[in-house]
Amino acid sequence: MSAKLSGIQKIAVLLGVLGDAAAAKIMASFEGDEQDRIGQAMVELEETDLDENVINRLVDEFREMLAAGVVFRSNLGKTLDGMMENLHGEEDGRRRIARIREKSRSRFPFRGLRGIKAQDLARVLLDEHQQVQALVIANLDSEQAASVLDVFPELLRSEIVSRMATMDEPSARMLKHVAQTMLDRTRGLRREEESEHDEDETRYRVVADILNATAPGTDKEILKTIEEGDEELSTNIRDRMFTWSDLAALDKRTMQKVLAGIDTKLLAMALKACDEEIAEALLGATSQRTRDMIQEERELLGALPLTDVLDAQRQILLTVRDLMDSGEITVSKGGATLVS
């Protein structure tokens, strides 16, 4: 597998490199739901052919944190078992693993097909019955499914789409059987490589995920050291530790602390291109009078260039980061704590 890995998947691979004892210590720093997500990622990767070059690049990225000369072994399943047992005890650990594996199988039966080039996957599918073709394509992500359909003969596309729209919900057993058959048939196929930009983005995000999971204050020390040698790199990591979408997780008291230093016109601009959940989190921390005033300013602004809106959002995020750096608030991906 050489397709891009998410931050959670990269953490899963690194834990596999470290082994169950060390992995259990690191895993203990994550919340329960985060442990489940990482465990699920390990299950997914266990059933996928990982490209050795991808593993080596990932290890290189963290060479300063890992012992020199580490060699990756395909022991994700063993590491997951040992890690969960060390963390939660033998009986509870096994129950958690069983739950993670079952959830992973039911939610992502065709995950092993991710990253396969559309032409290659279409060529394999064209040898299958149309009902199988429809079932597989219906379970791909929308972008990959569209790419595969584009490769299919024009006369066949409408038939496949019709079957996708009208077929009955398959049983879990049927999904598993078809998925395993397709995984076996595509096991030797190459996956699409990441672009340089995607690789950079993935690296920044996985580092940000790890720093978000460190003990309070550790992230600041690490970023300060990085900034002394490479200010741009420090900024790229910091920008991904808390993003615009994370605002929705802040509690009302913390949001009020953030908004106290923000001009209403700036907030109105930022809300011009904003998800409803985030907008409600922001406006919900204001009085009804202030809320009405912000909404009125938002309407009076009219159409704005997207760059202006994004700049306004960046300025608000800078306020959040300043409060984090000063210790006035402690923010994590799961929410925020106000520090007196």
Give the distance, in angstroms, between the CA of residue 178 and the centroid of all CA atoms in the same chain: 27
Model pLDDT, residue 59: 67
Q: What is the DSSP letter of 116?
A: B
Domain range summary for the chain, segments of one domain joined by + = 7-108, 113-186, 198-338
Model pLDDT, residue 101: 60
Q: How many beta carbons lie within 10 A of that of residue 113, not counting itself? A: 24
Model pLDDT, residue 288: 92
Q: How far apart are CA 224 and CA 220, in angstroms?
A: 6
CATH class of the domain whose range is 198-338: mainly alpha
CATH class of the domain whose range is 113-186: mainly alpha
Q: What is the token pair recorded at 160? A: 């496949």
List the chain pLDDT tens, one digit each, 340 residues: 445 677 777 778 877 776 677 777 777 767 666 777 788 888 777 766 666 777 777 766 665 444 433 333 344 556 667 767 777 788 887 777 777 665 555 556 787 788 888 888 998 998 888 899 999 998 887 888 898 999 898 888 888 999 888 888 777 778 878 888 888 888 777 766 544 455 566 677 778 777 777 766 777 788 888 888 888 888 888 877 778 878 888 888 889 988 988 888 999 998 887 778 888 889 999 999 999 999 898 888 887 787 788 888 888 988 888 888 777 877 654 444 444 3
In terms of Cα–Cα distance, which of 234, 237, 257 is closest to 247?
257
Q: What is the token pair recorded at 1? A: 């597998």
| Neighbour-count burial of 165, counting CB atoms closer than 10 A to its CB (0-12 exposed, 13-18 middle, 19+ buried) | exposed
Residue 228: partners with Cβ closer than 8 Å, 6 or more residues away: none
Give the distance, in angstroms, between the CA of residue 8 and the centroid of all CA atoms in the same chain: 6
Model pLDDT, residue 71: 37
Give the distance, in angstroms, between the CA of residue 236 and the centroid of all CA atoms in the same chain: 17
**Contact criterion met (CB below 8 Å) for 240 and 254:** no
Model pLDDT, residue 2: 41
Question: Residue 287 — left, alpha, or beta (φ > 0 → left; ψ -120 to 50 → alpha)?
Answer: beta
Model pLDDT, residue 57: 74
Model pLDDT, residue 332: 57
Length of the chain: 340
Q: How far apart are CA 116 and CA 193, in angstroms?
A: 10
Intrachain domains 113-186 and 198-338 with the same fold = yes
